[in-house]
Amino acid sequence: MPVFSALTDKMRWHQARQGLLAENVANAETPGYRGRDLAQYDLADRPGGFSSASITTLATQPMHFSVSSSEGGAFGAQRMANFEITPEGNGVSLEDEMMKVTTNMMDYQAATTVYQKSIKILKTALGRSA
């Protein structure tokens, strides 16, 4: 189902972005912190036919932990082009971050809505009342 894997990929992107934005807001007062964001999501930029398969190591001991999904996941976090940097070297502007958080949420909601609609279409095709 290409629609579902595309939507899942996009939702995963929003999830990773939310994590980075949370980092930026939490570190908004930390000297020397510059802030990071993800590159704009683009379906055409995602080769591999929306494959979400990833390789993780097998945890045979409870003390093992996976580091594969850290640092913004597979989407590649990049430093923001800061509009202004405070004298203590912090480049996070809270207003911008709040705008990004809200935009991220709205786009995520759009994706989940489309996902739900797709499920409803599937149900209709199967002959069940949606």
Partner 1 sequence: MDFNSSLRIAATGLHAQTARMRVIAENIANADSAGKAPGEEPYRRRIPTFQTHYDAEVGGKVVEVGRLAYDMSDFTSRYEPGHPAADASGYVQYPNVNTLIETMDMREAQRTYEANLNVVTVTRQMLGRTIDILRG
- The length of the chain in residues reads 130
**Shortest spacing between CB 20 and partner 1, in angstroms:** 7
Contact between 45 and 1 under an 8 Å Cβ cutoff? The reply is: no
CB of residue 113 to partner 1, shortest distance in Å: 8
Decide: is 122 part of the binding site for partner 1 (CB under 8 A): no
Residue nearer to partner 1 on the CB measure, 9 or 73: 73
Verify binding: residue 105, partner 1, rule CB under 8 A.
Answer: yes
Helix, coil or strand: residue 5: helix
Q: Which secondary structure element, helix H or strand E, spans residue 36, and what is its range?
A: strand 36-38
- Quote the CA–CA distance of 54 and 39 in Å, as a whole number: 20
Q: Is 119 in the site for partner 1 (CB under 8 A)?
A: yes
Q: How far apart are CA 61 and CA 93, in angstroms?
A: 42
Q: Within 10 A of 27 (CB to CB), how many other CB atoms are there? A: 16
Candidate list 31, 54, 57, 121; residue touching partner 1; CB under 8 A? 31
* Minimum distance of partner 1 from residue 109's CB (angstroms): 6
63 Rama class: left (phi>0) / alpha (psi -120 to 50) / beta: alpha
Q: Pick the piece of the chain touching partner 1 (CB under 8 A) from 15-23, 43-51, 54-62, 78-86.
A: 15-23
Residues of the shown chain interacting with partner 1 in the complex, contacts defined by CB under 8 A: 11, 14-16, 18-23, 25-33, 65, 67, 69-70, 72-73, 94, 97-98, 101-102, 104-105, 108-109, 112, 115-116, 119-120
